[in-house]
Structure 1
Amino acid sequence: MAHPVDVHVGKRIRHRRWLVGMTQQQLAEQVGIKFQQIQKYETGTNRVSASRLWDIAEALDVAVGFFFAGLEEDGGDGDTANIFPSDLIGDKEALDLVRSYYAIPEHQRKRLFELARCLSDVA
């Protein structure tokens, strides 16, 4: 049975890879392993070593800590994070929205962000 931390790290690898538009094969090539190993990491079947996680973080252009974000959350701290689905990063629609958002030129993106903030304030 996979350890919950390994499953969480694997999900974060998969979603970051998807967000940057990289295939398992491309990530595997950058890290120097076979794509089947990436599959096993992403499902939590295999545990990612510290040095391999470092290489994956470098290939995906994130800090190593990115893969552990959200582990300490128990949802009981009373903040606004409770309005989001428990696996927001696992929501394909949310990830697609983020990917599309970052494809917009920066000056237009800022205006879109301001519009979204205004709409959420009145909702």
Structure 2
Amino acid sequence: MRHPVDVHVGKRVRHRRWMVGMTQQQLGDIVGIKFQQIQKYETGMNRISASRLWDISQALDVPVSFFFEGFDGENSVPDAAPSVADTRGDLLADKEALELVRSYYAIPEAQRRRLFELARVLSDVA
């Protein structure tokens, strides 16, 4: 059975890897392991050791603490109802949503602010 912390950390690895536009193969090559092991880490099937988590954090340019953000232990029971944070996390696990976020941050800042204000206005109207 997968441990909830391993699942959460794995989701955070996948999320960050997607955010920087890196494949499992690329991350595996940087860290010195096969992409299949990255797959197992990301699903929480295999636990990531402290030294490997350190290597992954260096490859993805985030502190180790990044992988634990959002985990409060409240939903550590496998059958617990998902919280708002879990739902948001699932949204970020969606490739289309991540592509949208990547594209958004590729827009120059001044235009991005205008786009953000437009989205805010449109969401208030809906």
1:106 aligns with 2:121: no
Query: Would you say how many aligned residue pairs link Structure 1 and Structure 2?
Result: 118
Deviations 1:4-40 (A, max 9, x none): 1101111111121122111111101111222222111
- How does 1:1-123 map onto structure 2 within 5 Å? 1-72=1-72, 74=74, 82=84, 85-86=87-88, 87-123=90-126
Deviations 1:35-76 (A, max 9, x none): 22211111111111112111111111222122112211759x
Residues 84 and 27 from structure 1, CA distance in 2 versus in 1: closer, same or farther, beyond 3 angstroms? closer
Which amino acid is 1:23 matched to? T
Identity rate of aligned residues, in percent? 75
Structure 2: 5+ residue stretches without partners: 76-82
Distance of 2:103 and 2:84 partners within structure 1: 25
Which amino acid is 2:66 matched to? F
Offset, 1:94: 2.1
Which amino acid is 1:85 matched to? T
Q: RMSD value over aligned CA atoms?
A: 2.4
Per mean C-alpha deviation after superposition, the further-off stretch among 27-36 and 111-120 is 111-120
Aligned-partner SS, 2:87: coil
Per mean C-alpha deviation after superposition, the further-off stretch among 64-73 and 36-45 is 64-73
Which amino acid is 1:117 matched to? R
Structure 1: 5+ residue stretches without partners: 76-80
